[in-house]
Chains A and B, each alone.
Chain A
């Protein structure tokens, strides 16, 4: 499913390091596991096309997303990947409903606060966000923010979902609940997911395959596909 090879020099001066990642995976639930600063987020962003590696190749389901040799770089808006940012990156000037419906309207205007798109309603219902749909991101709790971010990514029907430390900012009970919700969601949709975490419990609970990274390199792969 995934064929990823990335080479890039990151950071400046003292904090500079060489990112050199290569892995293949067919897992539905792939976890990139490693300490913070290992280059996990950079890797995920390069897969989504939010950063451009100096060299490498990214293939998803036989579709080339990036290839430095043929100088091909599919813009992230055309990659059909969902991305959940570590801080969720909800749009602060839009309500929960507008955030979720964001991708459905492609013009120069944001969706109106009153729009009632069926797929937006569907996800609001699935994540039980009815009561807060007209609130702004700053007015809702951390768990609600994460569900909003998930719903926003899922409305555009992505072919895979990339999640950057989705449980990092949460206390333990909430973490456990959202973890099982996410697993359930993955099973229901059979949507391929790539999740990055530095938390061992998250990794054990979620992973089908684990790729352990440190200092910009793959240290071990629990399920080498070669």
Chain B
């Protein structure tokens, strides 16, 4: 059973980092795309959403090409900083981040677009700077939608398999997350371990989904009220 707890701890570490990264990047990019109008915005949105629809193995392959020993980014990191991402838990974090990014980004963009422009204008007339408008009006009105997207992203990162396996491999205690451990256990015929791993994974994902559903945007008083008008 030890493998299970080690894998669970590693999974939470990888998914936690991936979610933290996505929260910052997804909110920033979602806000930018909801407010800025520029040529190619739709194309950029589609590219940023691709990880949600591409097969994880294809994503893993892209990441290998970019981050691998001969990849553009991988080579630069190795030569200048001595960092190698392939077959490390940090590599698993990157794989999980890329796969889960669209969930935060999409939720953030939709939530920001739902904020009534007149509320931001009212805050401006009342003397607030743009930064203050963001933190006092825009973000508080959008945060529930963002949070529910973030929880989904965490769940997605927890269950990530294909891209992680290709980029980080399956090293016990280093890159072997729950989903990969399940695969390995089944392959090795360790049914008891597999059963336990599957149970742990299912329970934690169910808990996540329940909390994400509870925070769904439809439940916000302010937004429901505006929808009635």
B122 at the interface (CB under 8 A from A): yes
Within the complex, the shortest CB–CB distance from A45 to chain B, in Å, comes to 8
Q: Are A89 and B122 in contact (CB under 8 A)?
A: yes
Interface size on B, residues (CB 8 A): 25
Q: Are A87 and B229 in contact (CB under 8 A)?
A: yes
Tell me the nearest residue of chain B to A86, going by C-beta. Answer: B118
Which of A55-63, A74-82, A175-183 binds B?
Answer: A74-82
B50 at the interface (CB under 8 A from A): no
Q: Hey, what's the 0/1 contact readout for B2-39 against A, CB within 8 Å counting as 1? A: 00000000000000000000000000000000000000
Residue of A85, A87, A106 near B127 (CB, 8 A) is: A106
B66 at the interface (CB under 8 A from A): no
A103 at the interface (CB under 8 A from B): yes
A16 at the interface (CB under 8 A from B): no
A167 at the interface (CB under 8 A from B): no
B123 at the interface (CB under 8 A from A): yes
Q: Are B136 and A109 in contact (CB under 8 A)?
A: yes
Interface size on A, residues (CB 8 A): 31
Tell me the nearest residue of chain B to A136, going by C-beta. Answer: B221
Residue of A50, A92, A106, A138 near B125 (CB, 8 A) is: A50
Q: Which residues 131-173 in B have Cβ within 8 Å of A in the complex? A: 131-132, 135-137, 140-141
Residue of A49, A107, A138 near B221 (CB, 8 A) is: A138
List residues of chain B with CB within 8 A of the CB of A152. Answer: 126
21 contacts between A and B (CB under 8 A): A50-B121, A75-B124, A79-B125, A82-B125, A89-B118, A89-B121, A89-B122, A91-B122, A91-B137, A92-B221, A92-B223, A102-B126, A106-B128, A107-B132, A108-B132, A109-B136, A110-B136, A110-B140, A138-B222, A153-B125, A156-B127
